Amino acid sequence: MNPAIEPSETIADTLSAGEPLNEPWVERGGVLWFEGPRMNVREVAHAMNAVGARFITLTAYQMPGNEGLRLEYHWDLAGRLLGFNFPLAGNSIESIYDICEAVDWIERETHEGFNIEFTGREYEPLLLREGNVCGVNLREEVAK
Amino acid sequence: MSYKIPMGPYHPALEEPYKLDLICEGETVTDAKLHIGFNFRGIEHLAETRNYIQVIALMERVCGICSNIHTLTLCSAMEKLTGLTPPPRAQYIRVIVAELERLHSHVLWAGIAAKLMGFKTMFMTCFEIREKAMDVLQAISGNRVNYSMNRIGGVNRDIEDPQSIVAMVDALEREMVKTIIPIFTTSTTARSRCAGIGVLTHAKAVSCGVVGPVARASGVGQDLRKEAPYAAYGEMEFEVPVQPDGDVRARLLVRALEIMESCKILRQALTKLPPGELASGGDGSKFSFTTGTATARVEAPRGEVMYSVSWKEGSRNPSRVHVRTPTFVNMPSVRYMVQGARLADTPLIQASIDPCYSCTDR
């Protein structure tokens, strides 16, 4: 990717209002997935803010075996559902809470359910109560 | 001196399991903290242990008000993984049941809002009308709460006499026009309790990503039925009511106007109901899924619901089901609505987003 080009411009250039989206967007399972140059989640969040997209949710996936975790982020742009995929190397990813307020509760819920650390933000328990251990992979706990 | 009032998790104003820590200066609320999760059920995890028939019955129980919406969204996602398209009659029936559910939900909310305003006569009137909406749903599905209408590839039950439903919709609309809308929009009680109360500005609504009537009452004109039509909504003519004020009254007005639009959609769908099959995909007992993830979104009475469903080919169970409910995104905005409000107004402000903790604690 050309370092002189801002990632937000790359995404914005590909999103023509009302027209079908072509590469690097690929329609799969009802979502237009961005398959362009790899960006980090904060670059994507900035790009989505720049085009006026609305954050919908993020979904965590526990991959089989030792493949770790994967996150899918979804935004809506005038009725089009946009998706971004982030395989996690460890169990952490940068928080986008300071860029996108709507992500607050789902980052907290995902932290509590999958032990994914959203770095750069403070947590308060959302679903768990005082005395519960916050930041445990509940799926692995149930499997034990 | 500021002090904290814990409201909930079980309190008399709203019989819902959540807690609001209100920070007050005198009678004025300066800030609030919300706590949920008191009845968290782990339904998403449970769904991974259910097969493709059982998971529909399970997800219908995410919510007791918009149960049909959850199966509609789930089935729409599963249809993308099975390659099935519901036939036109099924698409229309899905619209009819979804709109009846919206009517039921909005009238129920109006009743609860009336009760919180101290307007108990109106509460009784709303619940009488809600009964009529539920009678229609029962006449179609045989059930009053979990209608079991949706299946992969279509619907389970037909609407054999659409004209009888049209008559019921007409009666319901007459009652709305004659009683509920005029009282809610003109009575001194309703106006004094709702106007200028619990304001969510347009900017904050956008920033919080709120959905449904809460967004539309703050001037955000989003509605998936228009923006990304599903089922047979693309063939329906209707307006999306939007109000700019962002207060409790605006949320009340949006829902009242949406009831009228729902009646309009219902009349069209019932009149134009096409003939044909109720479902594709054989007898509905065996389905083949491709490996992958599919996502579907639907405009529920409270706003956008989204399901992401992940499957592995050959498996009978989903490997992941993620549900994003409207209250989950609308609820955090209550913090901003109550800032500067009188303590006595907070129950009504909370109720004005039509919160569903069954959906939130899914």
The model's pLDDT over B2-59, given as tens digits with 9 standing for 90+, comes to 889 888 887 666 677 888 889 999 889 999 988 888 888 888 888 988 888 899 999 9
Most B-contacting residue of A54, A98, A132 (CB-CB within 10 A), to test interface: A54
Instruction: List, in order, residues 6 or more apart from B76 with CB less than 8 Å away.
Output: B230, B296, B298, B307
Residue of chain B whose Cα is closest to the Cα of A61 = B320
Distance of alpha carbon B312 from alpha carbon A78, whole angstroms: 31
Which residues numbered 312-341 in B keep a CB inside 8 Å of some CB on A? 320, 322, 324, 328-329, 331-332
Distance of alpha carbon B28 from alpha carbon B40, whole angstroms: 31
Q: Please check the confidence at residue B91 and state whether its pLDDT lies above 60.
A: yes
* Alpha-carbon B261 to chain mean position: 15
Instruction: List, in order, residues 6 or more apart from B50 with CB less than 8 Å away.
Output: B58, B317, B318
The range of the structural domain enclosing residue B43 comes to 2-360
pLDDT for residue A2: 42
DSSP secondary structure code for residue B342 in this structure: B
List C-alpha distances in Å: B173 to B99, B133, B243. Answer: 13, 11, 21
Q: Please check the confidence at residue A132 and state whether its pLDDT lies above 80.
A: no
Q: Please check the confidence at residue A65 and state whether its pLDDT lies above 80.
A: no
Phi, psi of B311 (to 5 degrees): -140, 155
* CA distance to partner chain B, nearest, from residue A117 (Å): 19
Residue of chain B whose Cα is closest to the Cα of A104 = B332
Over chain B, what is the mean pLDDT?
89
Domain ranges of chain A: 7-143
Structure tokens at A115: 């032990």
CB distance A134 to A140 below 8 Å: no
Contact between chains at B45 and A142 (C-beta distance less than 8 A)? yes
Question: Considering all CA atoms of chain A, what is the largest pairwise distance in Å, rounded to the nearest integer?
Answer: 52
Q: Which CATH number fits domain A7-143: 3.90.1150.10, 3.40.50.12160, 2.40.50.140, 3.30.460.80?
A: 3.30.460.80
Which one-letter amino acid corresponds to residue B136? V
Which among B73, B72, B60, B53 is positioned nearest to B295, based on CA atoms?
B73
Q: How many domains does chain B have?
A: 1
Contact between chains at B308 and A79 (C-beta distance less than 8 A)? no
Entry pTM:
0.89
Residues B105-131 pLDDT 10s: 999 888 888 888 878 888 888 888 888
Contact between chains at B77 and A128 (C-beta distance less than 8 A)? no
Distance of alpha carbon A21 from alpha carbon A41, whole angstroms: 21
Chain A positions touching B310 (Cβ under 8 A) are: 61
**Chain A CB within 8 Å of residue B39 CB:** no
Instruction: List, in order, residues 6 or more apart from A140 with CB less than 8 Å away.
Output: none
Residues B141-197 pLDDT 10s: 988 888 989 999 999 999 988 988 888 888 888 888 888 888 877 888 778 888 889
Distance of alpha carbon B126 from alpha carbon B103, whole angstroms: 11
Residues B300-358 pLDDT 10s: 999 999 999 999 888 888 999 999 999 999 999 999 999 999 988 888 898 888 887 77
**Chain A CB within 8 Å of residue B203 CB:** no
Distance of alpha carbon B219 from alpha carbon B347, whole angstroms: 23
* CA distance to partner chain B, nearest, from residue A2 (Å): 31
**Chain A CB within 8 Å of residue B43 CB:** no
Chain B positions touching A80 (Cβ under 8 A) are: 228
Chain A positions touching B208 (Cβ under 8 A) are: 101-102
Contact between chains at B328 and A106 (C-beta distance less than 8 A)? yes
Give me the torsion for CA of B275, B278, B281, B283, rounded to 10°. Answer: -120
Q: What is the CATH number of the domain that holds B182?
A: 1.10.645.10
Chain A positions touching B42 (Cβ under 8 A) are: 138
DSSP secondary structure code for residue B178 in this structure: I
* CA distance to partner chain B, nearest, from residue A137 (Å): 12
Note every long-range contact of A33-42, with CB atoms under 8 Å and residues 24 or more positions apart, other chains counting: A33/A83, A33/A84, A33/A85, A34/A82, A34/A83, A34/A84, A36/A10, A36/A11, A37/A1, A37/A7, A37/A10, A39/A7, A40/A94, A41/A71, A41/A73, A41/A84, A41/A86, A41/A93, A41/A94, A41/A96, A42/A94, A42/A96, A42/A99
Which of A30, A101, A102 lies closest to B295 in CB terms? A30
| Other beta carbons less than 10 A from residue A101's beta carbon | 16
3-state secondary structure of A96: coil
Element housing B24 (H / E):
strand B19-25
Question: Considering all CA atoms of chain B, what is the largest pairwise distance in Å, rounded to the nearest integer?
Answer: 69
